[in-house]
Amino acid sequence: MTHLPSPAARRQLGKSGIEVSALAWGNWRLCGDDVDAVVKLLHAALDAGITLIDTADIYGPDNDEAFGASEALLGRALATDPSLRGKFVIATKGGISMGVPYDSSAGYLTSAIDASLTRLGTDTVELWQIHRPDILTHPSEIAKAIGEAYKAGKIRSFGVSNFTTSQIATLQQFLELPIVSTQPELSPLKLAPIENGELDQAIAMDMAVLAWSPLGGGRIANPSDERTKAVAGLLDEVAEEFGVSRTAAAYSWIMAHPARVIPIVGSQKADRIAEAADALKVRWTRARWYAVLVASKGEPLP
């Protein structure tokens, strides 16, 4: 029985020259005021081999907190131990403006980057991403702001989130920097990036793919319809063989794609962060991988 190649524990972040872990820890639900608890989560991530943190300035309002609250809490946690910052690659996002909703004008992007750096308590972030596309801003204006931030040392690389393939291709035409990453929603239940060319473009342009909601918004853990139950059942078969959880099998399924997808682990529990690293133990055969794809699509392949 032939298995697909095992995902490496480390990989390059596109053309940035920055090495990152095979999984990322996401901070969408990082909230509250318990700095010590966050420090413990940071150490749990390190123990699991996870060194890439994905956050955003908009993370806060969804938790009934202020704009930027999650970044600020992470910054306070990192400040407790000066050695921590150098152990992590921080990726943050901006470009969502409350009540607008999207603003990628040069002035707004510049102010968003500066504000994120202040909240995070750092002079630079390894990856800064536009969170969602602003169709009213010309790509040349974006390129100007991003180029200046890079030259000033505020950002070490640039990526996008929730952009279409054409938006990525168009923006890249105006940038001096390479777009090193893209961040779509991708899971065994959300197949669009596999089918619409996003992952193909990532391979062609050497962009890292950071997958948000890799567990289908919790549906894989708690399936409630026949399609999701079918996918969960197939994941369970693989999970049992390799002695891992269903969630680890789900992460590993998207990681098996040759785009070398990086799942963003959204849990704020140390044991769940540790569990995510088990994804590296799983080996997929083509037959089993395609079986999950067919179950998710709900129809046979051609």
Q: Which residues are annotated as catalytic? A: 59
DSSP 37-58: HHHHHHHHHHHTT--EEE--TT
Q: Per the structure block, which two tokens stand in for 266?
A: 């959204």
Residues 6+ apart with CB under 8 A from 174: 139, 140, 142, 143
Q: How far is CA 144 from the centre of its chain?
A: 25
Q: How many residues does the chain have?
A: 302
Q: Strand pairing partners for 181?
A: 159, 208
CA proximity to 77, closest of 111, 103, 43, 51: 43
Q: Per the structure block, which two tokens stand in for 296?
A: 């998710």
Task: Report the alpha-carbon distance of residue 267 to residue 239 in Å, rounded.
Answer: 19
Task: Report the alpha-carbon distance of residue 210 to residue 157 in Å, rounded.
Answer: 14
Task: Report the alpha-carbon distance of residue 236 to residue 241 in Å, rounded.
Answer: 9
DSSP state letter for 223: -
Q: Can the peptide bond before residue 188 be classed as cis, meaning omega within 30 degrees of 0?
A: no
Residue type, 254: I
Residue pair 92/134 in contact by the 8 Å Cβ criterion: no
Task: Report the alpha-carbon distance of residue 117 to residue 154 in Å, rounded.
Answer: 8
Residue type, 239: A
Strands 158-161 vs 10-12: parallel, antiparallel or unpaired: unpaired
Residue type, 147: G
∠ at Cα 158 (212, 62), nearest 5°?
A: 40
